Amino acid sequence: MAVAVEVLPEALSGRFRGSFAYKTIKDRLPKILTKAVDTIYRQRTVLATKHGECGLDDFKLTVGRLSKLRYELQTNKPMYKLTDKHADVELWNQYYDKEKERNGMDPCWFTNAWLYVECFMYRSIKETLALSMFLKDFDPFEEQKRSAFMSSQTPIVTLANHLLHIVSSNEHRDADLLEKDFRHMVELSLWGNKNDLSISGGSENYQKADPLEQLDELQPYILVDQINDMWRHLKSCANRKCGRCRIDIILDNAGFELFGDLCFAEFLLRMGLASEVHLHAKAMPWFVSDTTSQDFWWTLEMLQASNNGELSRLGTRWHQHIKDETFFLKQDDFWTLPHNYAELRAMAPQLYQDLSASDLVVFKGDLNYRKLTGDLQWPHTTPFVDALQGFLPAPLCVLRTLKADLVVGLQEGQDKQAEEKASDWMVSGNFAVVQFYVDRAWEQL
């Protein structure tokens, strides 16, 4: 069980000069906003053609609001309360009030918690579009996500062929080989997380190398490797429940990573390790490349329409999984709030109850890791379960490549060894963790 932490560490924040949070707020977030403005700017002709002067006026107001947001961020002006009509506005404004009361001043970009201000920027982009007349449903990151997917076709085909070879020869695979296949599929899902458009500031960042050839080379860079624990847990569940196991995946990036996650889900189903997979997407465009429901459906449509027979088969199969309720696609506003996951039970009790029905919840990526651990400056040797601060709706694991100066669960001295390999080991995406936890009480159910 988790040990109560009497005094929590400070939150990561831009007020610590030289930190990755500071560099993100100073350099990366303005760059992302600039790209969003450029993308919207290219819509001006479409708006003028469709809506005349009203369209141009709407375009100018929208670009003006985003430019103002960028200026306020860069000059550390106070943040503000939201005014659009989305259901989460009250929760965001309550969070603002708590931060103002706690600090005795209006929240500001460089002085408040990094997690809050970074989430607020993306939520403010959504509000700007929601307040427009003609761009309410426009995704300013869609073009980048689509391009990343199309640029990754060669490794996507490689992964598809690998998956279909495994599942087609299932009856000839012994237990040892199946366990090896499981490890490979987890690692493929893990390293797909390197392809993150927010970490690159929206610049091109897609899978180029053969994902299978990379696995042996990348294995030493998994700092915490609890894949074997995951395997034993899923095998135990499958045996106890006659294969009637539910897996939840809290998705991260669209593109190659989403494809890898779907391949992992297909593998779990076909190998009898799961009977249903619940996929949790974002309710709005988020952190540039995070998967929305629209991204999910677009991906399946592109696969189904592909000239490659293997991709088309998978696209058709995954559409069918949705129809026969083997795959469930879900979204909830909680995933795009600034709150850490220790608050989920109080903030979103229905979502917490839903996750509690799972046999394993897989959290993908860096942002989920930051929210799981509160985005606090934990000592690197802090046990993973302690950093969760009581958040344990079900057995859970995280597949994350490191892109923030935060990591827990390391052995003494392991951080120094990683730093000797690369000074930017915590933020480059080149190191990873696979961390798993199950409560003993749950195991006895």
Q: Are 434 and 224 in contact (CB under 8 A)?
A: yes
- Rounded distance, CA 376 to CA 370, Å? 8
pLDDT of residue 209: 73
Give me the amino acid identity at 421: K
pLDDT of residue 206: 53
Reported as a single tens digit per residue, the pLDDT across 168-227 is 877 666 778 899 999 999 999 999 998 776 664 555 555 667 888 889 999 999 999 999
pLDDT of residue 199: 66
pLDDT of residue 314: 98
Strand residue runs (E) in 18-81: none
Say whether pLDDT at 12 is over 70: yes
pLDDT of residue 242: 82
Q: Give the strands of the sheet with 276-281, arranged side by side.
A: 222-225, 432-437, 396-401, 360-364, 246-250, 276-281, 327-331
Say whether pLDDT at 33 is over 90: yes
- Rounded distance, CA 115 to CA 117, Å? 6
- Rounded distance, CA 15 to CA 76, Å? 10
Burial class (CB in 10 A: 0-12, 13-18, 19+), 430: middle
- Rounded distance, CA 82 to CA 367, Å? 22
pLDDT of residue 211: 85
Q: Are 406 and 219 in contact (CB under 8 A)?
A: no
**Three-state DSSP string of 317-364:** HHHHHHHCCCEEEEECHHHHCCCCHHHHHHHCHHHHHHHHCCCEEEEE
Q: Are 12 and 375 in contact (CB under 8 A)?
A: yes
- Rounded distance, CA 152 to CA 259, Å? 10
Q: Is CATH 3.40.50.300 the classification given to domain 162-443?
A: no
pLDDT of residue 260: 96
pTM recorded for the entire structure: 0.96
Q: Are 131 and 84 in contact (CB under 8 A)?
A: yes
From residue 200, alpha-carbon distances to 29, 105, 195, 251 in Å are 10, 32, 9, 19
Least confident span in 9-23, 237-251, 328-342: 237-251
Say whether pLDDT at 374 is over 70: yes
Report, as an integer, the average pLDDT of 243-269. 96
Say whether pLDDT at 100 is over 60: yes
Helix (H, G, I), strand (E, B) or coil at 435: strand
Say whether pLDDT at 3 is over 90: no
Reported as a single tens digit per residue, the pLDDT across 384-421 is 999 999 999 999 999 999 999 999 999 999 999 999 99
Residue with token string 């073009």: 143
Sign of CA dihedral 151, 162, 254, 215: negative
The domain ranges of the chain are 20-130, 162-443
Report, as an integer, the average pLDDT of 259-263. 97
The H or E element that residue 94 is part of is helix 89-103
The H or E element that residue 401 is part of is strand 396-401
Checking phi first, is residue 97 left (phi over 0); if not, alpha (psi -120 to 50) or beta? Answer: alpha
Confidence of residue 2 (pLDDT cuts 50, 70, 90): low
Reported as a single tens digit per residue, the pLDDT across 318-333 is 999 999 999 999 999 9
Least confident span in 48-57, 88-97, 199-208, 218-227: 199-208
Least confident span in 128-132, 198-202, 279-283: 198-202
- Rounded distance, CA 288 to CA 173, Å? 40
pLDDT of residue 207: 63
Say whether pLDDT at 259 is over 80: yes
- Rounded distance, CA 92 to CA 284, Å? 15
- Rounded distance, CA 137 to CA 149, Å? 21
Checking phi first, is residue 184 left (phi over 0); if not, alpha (psi -120 to 50) or beta? Answer: alpha
Q: Are 111 and 76 in contact (CB under 8 A)?
A: yes
Architecture of domain 20-130: Up-down Bundle (1.20)
